[in-house]
Amino acid sequence: MAKLNWGMIGGGEGSQIGPAHRLGAQADGNFVLAAGALDVDAEKGRAYAESLGVAADRAYANWQEMLEGERGREDRVDLVTVATPNSTHFEITKAFLEAGFNVLCEKPMTMTVEEGEEIVRVAEASGKICAVNYCYSAYPMVREMRQMVKTAQIGKVRLVVANFSHGHHGDAGDADNPRVRWRYDPAMAGVSGQFADCGIHALHMASFIAGDEVRSLSADFASTIPSRTLEDDAMVNFRMEGGTVGRLWTSSVAIGRQHGFDIQVFGETGGMRWASEQPNQVFYTPVGGRTQIMEKGEAGLSDEAARLSRVAIAHPEGFPLAVANIYVDLAAAIRGETRNALPSAMDGLRSMAAVYAAVDSAKADGAWVDARPQILR
Ligand code: NAI
């Protein structure tokens, strides 16, 4: 099968998420890095793209140049990944969709709900794919949990408890470090700090596994380091359309917790738990029974979990291969096959609506607020 041409914006040398995209997109031979505007520093970006094998005339100085350069080519990129800082996602994603490119945008998709609605509209009008990189949903054992819920193996889901709480911004002495400080500065980060950064991954995961969407929420935000304007800790209670009860704790000051992303799903006839630091196992307890450890790669898993596993049981698969699974589904979608599990622009919009709802709720002492985008009410 012919390889697809892939372009990347952001994710330059030394960036946090860039390597996971490059490993992920190219892991299965579906995509070849054909074009890029990789860095805010034009020369650094061009040089780095060329060092990765991009032809000199497709190693662009910035995204605008890339848009102009690619739109006229017969071998134009089949997919553009947007892995720049949050405040640039909207204009880049919109411009590429309008020019007829498929886009994978990093989270959060936009900075405001209105921008999110606009991306959903533009994506629909263009007929192109607009996916959002909620990559944790692509771990094989997360897909297994989703299948277990779908096939009623734990009965109706009563309760979801999700945490995305780490301690990497817990040192007050480091709070003025520019790499940390911008995340809690409204001028750079928008209306929310930790909840918009990490909490939305957990909220997306709750919906993804439970097969239910958030309807309303009540939030308590705290800036535990007083110099911070935006929250570095949040507790969010939520209710889903189908009646599922949700609890979510997200923090960046939970010293000792590392990645700190885990989720528990409790149904009428069983419970499950998964943690991103042990992504190959799901702990499953049937009501009245013993806890069982289910392993990626073992016999008897769902087709969906088996499809997204690469190496044999007991060999760890980690974060870049979860990102690779997003690209597997993107490649299939670009080639015309349906992949319903791909996180969409609508998921990106739902997250932004939840962020604004949480901010409003926190300001109103935890009042319950409708968390759905206006267009879904
Ligand atoms: P970073 O600051 O480490 O890297 C950003 C990169 O983008 C740098 O190479 C920078 O030079 C480049 N850049 C900045 N402005 C640009 C522009 N206008 N045009 C082209 N390149 C530009 O940031 P990081 O942590 O890699 O985050 C990038 C995005 O990825 C953020 O939106 C973040 O929320 C998201 N992210 C997602 C994760 C996930 O699990 N899905 C994990 C980490 C980050």
CATH number of the structural domain spanning residue 200 = 3.30.360.10
Answer yes or no: do 94 and 220 share one domain: no
Answer yes or no: do 120 and 163 share one domain: no
User: Has residue 372 been placed in a domain?
Assistant: no
Cα distance between residue 326 and residue 137, in whole Å: 9
- Count of domains forming the chain: 2
Q: Is the CB of 39 under 6 A from ligand 1?
A: yes
- How many CB atoms within 10 Å of residue 204? 23
Mean pLDDT of 293-319: 95
Q: Express each pLDDT in 44-54 by its tens digit.
A: 999 999 999 99
Answer yes or no: do 164 and 208 share one domain: yes
Q: Express each pLDDT in 76-90 by its tens digit.
A: 999 999 999 999 999
Residue 218: strand pairing partners:
237
Using an 8 Å Cβ cutoff, are 201 and 107 in contact? yes
Q: Single out the residue of 165, 248, 249, 241 nearest to residue 210, CA to CA.
A: 241
Buried b (16+ CB within 10 A) or exposed e, 334-355: beeeeeebbbbbbbbbbbbbbb
Answer yes or no: do 255 and 116 share one domain: no
User: Has residue 312 been placed in a domain?
Assistant: no
Answer yes or no: do 170 and 101 share one domain: no
Whole-number Å distance, alpha carbon 18 to ligand 1 midpoint, is 7
Answer yes or no: do 55 and 169 share one domain: no
Cα distance between residue 34 and residue 90, in whole Å: 23
Cα distance between residue 20 and residue 27, in whole Å: 10
Answer yes or no: do 170 and 110 share one domain: no
User: Has residue 280 been placed in a domain?
Assistant: no
Whole-number Å distance, alpha carbon 175 to ligand 1 midpoint, is 20
Percent of the chain with pLDDT over 90: 97
Q: Express each pLDDT in 177-234 by its tens digit.
A: 988 999 999 998 999 999 999 999 999 999 999 999 999 999 999 999 999 999 999 9
User: Has residue 141 been placed in a domain?
Assistant: no
Q: What are the residues whose beta carbons fall under 8 Å from the beta carbon of 113, sequence distance 6 or more?
A: 349, 352, 353, 356, 373, 374
Place of tokens 């979510």: 248
Q: Is the CB of 66 under 6 A from ligand 1?
A: no
User: Has residue 32 been placed in a domain?
Assistant: yes
Answer yes or no: do 118 and 189 share one domain: no
Domain holding 9: CATH number? 3.40.50.720
Residue 328: pLDDT band (50, 70, 90) is: very high
Whole-number Å distance, alpha carbon 354 to ligand 1 midpoint, is 22
Q: Which of 13, 84, 205 to mutate to test the pocket of ligand 1 (most atoms within 8 A of CB)?
A: 84
User: Has residue 176 been placed in a domain?
Assistant: yes
Residue 339 has pLDDT above 80, yes or no: no
Residue 338 has pLDDT above 90, yes or no: no
Answer yes or no: do 198 and 73 share one domain: no
Using an 8 Å Cβ cutoff, are 39 and 11 in contact? no
- How many CB atoms within 10 Å of residue 39? 24
Q: Express each pLDDT in 149-168 by its tens digit.
A: 999 999 999 999 999 999 99
Mean pLDDT of 65-76: 97
The number of CA neighbours under 13 Å toward the Cβ of 232 is 25
The number of CA neighbours under 13 Å toward the Cβ of 300 is 3
Shortest-distance atom of ligand 1 to CA 84: 7
Whole-number Å distance, alpha carbon 84 to ligand 1 midpoint, is 4
Domain ends where: 132, 147, 180?
132
Answer yes or no: do 98 and 23 share one domain: yes
Three-state SS sequence of the chain = CCCEEEEEEECCCCCCCHHHHHHHHHCCCCEEEEEEECCCCHHHHHHHHHHCCCCHHHECCCHHHHHHHHHCCCCCCCEEEEECCHHHHHHHHHHHHHCCCEEEECCCCCCCHHHHHHHHHHHHHHCCCEEECCHHHHCHHHHHHHHHHHCCCCCCEEEEEEEEECCCCCCHHHCCCHHHHHHHCHHHHCCCCHHHHHHHHHHHHHHHHHCCCEEEEEEEEECCCCCCCCCCEEEEEEEECCCCEEEEEEECCCCCCCCCEEEEEEECCEEEEEECCEEEEEEEEECCCCCEEEECCCCCCCHHHHHCCCCCCCCCCCHHHHHHHHHHHHHHHHCCCCCCCCCEHHHHHHHHHHHHHHHHHHHCCCCCEECCCHHHC
Q: Which of 15, 54, 276 to mutate to test the pocket of ligand 1 (most atoms within 8 A of CB)?
A: 15
Average pLDDT of the chain to the nearest whole number? 97
Domain that holds residue 206: 156-267+345-363
CA distances, 7 to each of 47, 82, 235, 286, 331 (Å): 15, 9, 38, 46, 13
Q: Express each pLDDT in 108-137 by its tens digit.
A: 999 999 999 999 999 999 999 999 999 999
The number of CA neighbours under 13 Å toward the Cβ of 206 is 35
Residue 1: pLDDT band (50, 70, 90) is: confident
Please give the order of strands across the beta sheet that includes 214-222: 292-295, 278-286, 270-275, 261-267, 157-165, 245-251, 233-240, 214-222, 369-370
Shortest-distance atom of ligand 1 to CA 18: 26
Domain ends where: 132, 167, 201?
132
Q: Is the CB of 85 under 6 A from ligand 1?
A: yes
Q: What's the token pair of residue 236?
A: 């969010």
Whole-number Å distance, alpha carbon 269 to ligand 1 midpoint, is 42
The dihedral region occupied by 300, where left means phi > 0, alpha psi between -120 and 50, and beta the remainder, is: left
User: Has residue 294 been placed in a domain?
Assistant: no
Answer yes or no: do 99 and 15 share one domain: yes
Q: Express each pLDDT in 223-282 by its tens digit.
A: 999 999 999 999 999 999 999 999 999 999 999 999 999 999 999 999 999 999 999 999
User: Has residue 43 been placed in a domain?
Assistant: yes
Answer yes or no: do 233 and 359 share one domain: yes
- The residue count for the chain: 377
Residue 301: pLDDT band (50, 70, 90) is: very high
Percent of the chain with pLDDT over 70: 100
